[in-house]
Structure 1
Amino acid sequence: MLNLMRLEMKKYHLGSYVKGAIIANFIILGFLFLVVGISKVEGDQDLENYQVALSVIESMIRVVFSIFASTLIAKLIIGEYKFKTITLAFMYPISRKKLIVAKLAIVMLFTFSTIIISNAFITTTFCVISDKFDLIPNGLSSSLILQHIPSVLMNAIAASGIALIPLYFGMRKYSIPATIISSIIIVSLTSSNTGNFTLNDIIFIPITLAIVGLGIAYLAIRNIEKVDV
């Protein structure tokens, strides 16, 4: 399975997605410092403390890389069906199920890894610079960081499952736009902030959506050996 995943990543030149993830990290950082800078000038502190800042960082990262995941699904699976190149792939002496599972595993692993790594990088960079130049009131405590880590891990795991939901919409008519748009709608609904509250904060919602995503993945591969393409 790991060897098949490596071959798939090499086939689709997924190194470009890694570069895209790095660029996205710096864009998020730039946006955060822009918000802090404007707040300082206007005298209105949007990120009033590190707890709010960490929550905003985690939410932004989750949104960005959930959409990244939908573009991966579009490239690895939906595009293959749309342009019939999956027929050639299914001619190889490899189980169809194993091939699709490898593709979905790449999507989930990419989503989980980028969310974890990006949180570590962006949070560390932002907090170090903010603390050095006193951009946010009150210091960053170790207890706050320790409380934040489980939340990041849980949301990364949930996001990896939720990232599979657009597969359902994309496979209906092999539509790449439907795949990406459905992802944008999902993250908009779950991450829309109202009074420092999002639907994602209700623990059973991301867990339920993650289970739905895994269920959709299972249904997509259950009868794949018998389906004509």
Structure 2
Amino acid sequence: MIKLMELEWRKLERKKVIGELIIYWAILTFLPTFFLKVVFADLPTADFNQSYSNAMALMLPIQMGFVMFGASLINHVFIEEYKNKTIALSFGYPISRKRLVTAKAMFIVSAVFICTVISFALAGIATYALDRALGVIAGEPSLADIAVYAFRAIIHSLVVALSSLIPLFCFGLWRRAVVPTVIFAVAIIQLPTLLNLIQISVNPDAMYATLCLLGLVSAYLSVLTVNTLGDL
């Protein structure tokens, strides 16, 4: 399975994917400080800058932006191969289609997870460094704050990675459509905001658990039906 995942990496347009990744890292690394310094600076109801523990409540959801990177990988790994008809060549390997789709999905999850963990680290370091220069957060981070951030970064990265698979079945394998995949990824990122707009209160942990479950279901359906969806 590892070799199949490595094959997916070698087949990618790596310069293009790495370029996208750098853009995501650049934006999400400095976005927490931008929100703390500019967006929420004059809002009395926003208390994210009162302490580092409060700031984490802002920094964690921001990294959901990597769901978009997952949508991009679905496009590269699945949709483009279907449109270029190179998927038929892959399905011609002496390996079952279900195993190939499993490897592709695992590659996407692994890539998004690793990149999101790195993004969390970059965002944490940048936020602390900019706070030292600009004074955007009250107080200093404690060892407990750092430990909680590291733990939640790992858990949240897994949430992001699994959530990125939600569009896989409907728009990656079945419809094979890039734009709906991207739109659906944006909807996932904006889900908390959308729920607030329609005044639905949902426990964040329950919401993230549901997103993970939907991602797993999407991956399962993709593996289950790949033999019946055709190559074209």
TM-score normalized by the length of structure 1: 0.84
Amino acid of the structure 2 residue aligned with 1:157: L
1:75 aligned residue = 76
Amino acid of the structure 2 residue aligned with 1:12: L
Helix, strand or coil for the counterpart of 1:130? helix
CA distance in 1, matches of 2:228, 2:194: 41
Helix, strand or coil for the counterpart of 1:159? helix
1:220 aligned residue = 222
2:182 aligned residue = 180
Structure 2 stretches of 5 or more lacking a match? none
Give the 5 Å matches for 1:45-64.
47-49=48-50, 50-62=52-64, 64=65
Amino acid of the structure 2 residue aligned with 1:228: G
CA distance in 2, matches of 1:83, 1:93: 21
Cα distance change of structure 1 residues 31 and 120 upon mapping to structure 2, 3 Å threshold: closer
Shift of 1:39: 6.5
Quick one: percent identity of the two aligned structures?
25
1:2 aligned residue = 2
2:25 aligned residue = 25
CA contact (8 A) 2:49 2:136 kept: no
2:91 aligned residue = 90
CA distance in 2, matches of 1:161, 1:199: 23
1:211 aligned residue = 213
CA distance in 2, matches of 1:199, 1:5: 39
Shift of 1:200: 7.8
CA contact (8 A) 2:66 2:112 kept: yes
Structure 1 stretches of 5 or more lacking a match? none
Shift of 1:36: 4.4
CA contact (8 A) 1:158 1:207 kept: yes
1:117 aligned residue = 118
Helix, strand or coil for the counterpart of 1:48? helix
Helix, strand or coil for the counterpart of 1:203? helix
Superposed CA offset, 1:170-202 (max 9, x none): 0332211111111111221146695xxx97853
Q: Which moved more, 1:43-52 or 1:163-172?
A: 43-52
Amino acid of the structure 2 residue aligned with 1:73: I
Superposed CA offset, 1:108-151 (max 9, x none): 01111111111012101211331344332212112122223332
CA distance in 1, matches of 2:68, 2:202: 16
Helix, strand or coil for the counterpart of 1:224? helix
CA contact (8 A) 2:116 2:157 kept: yes
How many equivalent pairs are there? 225
CA distance in 2, matches of 1:104, 1:93: 19
CA distance in 1, matches of 2:129, 2:4: 40
TM-score normalized by the length of structure 2: 0.83
For the aligned residues, what is the CA RMSD? 2.8
